[in-house]
Amino acid sequence: MPDIVSPIDGKVAYRFSQLELDDALRRLEHAEAVQRQWRRTPLSERVRVCLSMLDEYAKRVDEYAEQITRMMGKPLGQARGEFERSMTERVRYLCGIAEEALANDTLPDRDGLHRYIRHEPVGVVLDIAAWNYPLLIAVNVIVPAVLAGDAVLVKHASQTALVAEQFQDSFLAAGAPNGLVQAVHMSHETAAKLVATRRLGFVSFTGSVRGGHEVYRTVAQDNFIPVGLELGGKDPALVLPDCDFDFTVENLVDGAFYNAGQSCCGIERIYVDASIYDRFVEAYVAKTREYVVGNPLEPGVTMGPLVDAKAAAHVRRQIEEAVGKGARVLVGSKDFAVPDLSKAYLAPHVLVDVDHTMKVMTEESFGPVIGIMKVRDVGEGVKLMNDSEYGLTASIWTRDVPLGEDLATGVEAGTVYVNRCDYLDPGLAWTGVKDSGFGCSLSKLGFLSVTRPKSYHLRAR
């Protein structure tokens, strides 16, 4: 029975049982049977179930939020907010556009033929969800799939395994058929064998590039199963001289350090025009020092530990390597009362005198560290933004929005913001390029992954 070790104090917080292959196959068989009925359920009922799921989750949000905090370390208020703000917004939006997104694409009749394309459910979806935003990452797949008429098997990251059960229980309480949304705790080996049955309609994975390659190889082996991969990033920001200065500083500090920097679309590197560089760095340092690092269950704490000691050690190595190559630490451990409850705690770090020979500027950090680099002009800034193996999001900060939009066309990323960062709009496609993966969730386009097009030619004789 695997343990969930809390990063708060390094102690076992929860345990869960993993399925053996026979049990996993029974879950799959049950999901297939339920899905055959669910696909015939009117869309209005599917919408009702998803909205009722929110109501049922809300009844236990205090319990569930504490579980999330104990499992992965985000402050309790942020754990609640993940449901109360972001997840609720996404579910309501997706339910609101489901009828339009899933409607038949009807062509004009021709030669006595009635013609249309129907978006039919793929069957059973396997959602392999990450731990950093355990509700949002999972809901991006679960809700569109349920609305489309699919059943969903949720294999959550072992660190946040109980979130899969939270979804399962909330859907059951909302009146969903037993087996429509199931928590499936299983090893990578068991998951691979489940994929090998060729009975899944879609596999979604959120995690590391290495994990994405493993999933892709597994799915490709003797299969033609569609796959969606969201693999993180090294998301840049470019700050121009005419930016709304205080607004920009505040948002880029939050974009770098919210959730202890463990955000797929969090800011990981900043390029600032030379004319405002010194002023920007001074203000950024002052704002960063306002964070309160501590036990995330305690009030007033704005940054808890990283997910585990290994993650914290990875960030420390990047910092040490950068300093060894000439970077300077302007904000670090000396500026905060960092708990010694576990080795997962790490203070926010702000580095300057950085360049692209340093891993902190080129490899994913996924922790509370930011490098700030001076650039001569927008041309150099955009070139450095694109000098990355990743391409998830990027942001440009300027009062000249047409200029920002023009620069954005040259930025290699799935999402580009002007005067915004670290946010997913449910109405816009969530996708990436390069090592950030491929596929799409959210927006009406997100329904395409959990459906398959089927063409109908109908002639009356």
Which runs of E-coded beta strand occur in 212-325?
227-230, 235-239, 267-273
Q: In sequence order, what are the beta bridge partners of 164?
A: none
Q: What is the CA radius of gyration of the chain?
A: 23
In DSSP notation, 129-191 reads E-SSSHHHHHHHHHHHHHHHT-EEEEEE-GGGHHHHHHHHHHHHHTTPPTTSEEE----HHHH
Name residue 328's beta-bridge partners: 352
Catalytic residue among 230, 243, 268, 364: 230
φ/ψ region of 198 (left if φ > 0, alpha if ψ in -120 to 50, else beta) reads left
Report residue 375: phi and psi, to 5°: -130, 155
The answer to whether 346 and 260 are in contact (CB under 8 A) is: yes
Known catalytic membership, residue 230? yes
SS (H, E, C) 307-354: CCHHHHHHHHHHHHHHHHCCCEEEECHHHCCCCCCCCCCCCCEEEECC
Q: Could you give the dihedral angle defined by the CA atoms of residues 338, 339, 340 and 346, in that order, rounded to the nearest 10 degrees?
A: -50
Catalytic residue, chosen from 264, 265, 364, 421, is 264
* Three-state secondary structure call for residue 239: strand
Give the residues across from 267 on adjacent strands: 235
164 closest CA partner among 204, 129, 193: 129
Known catalytic membership, residue 264: yes
**Measured between alpha carbons, how far is 447 from 454 in angstroms, rounded to an integer?**
14
Is residue 171 within 8 Å of residue 147, measured between CB atoms? no
Give the residue numbers annotated as catalytic, written as ranges.
Answer: 230, 264
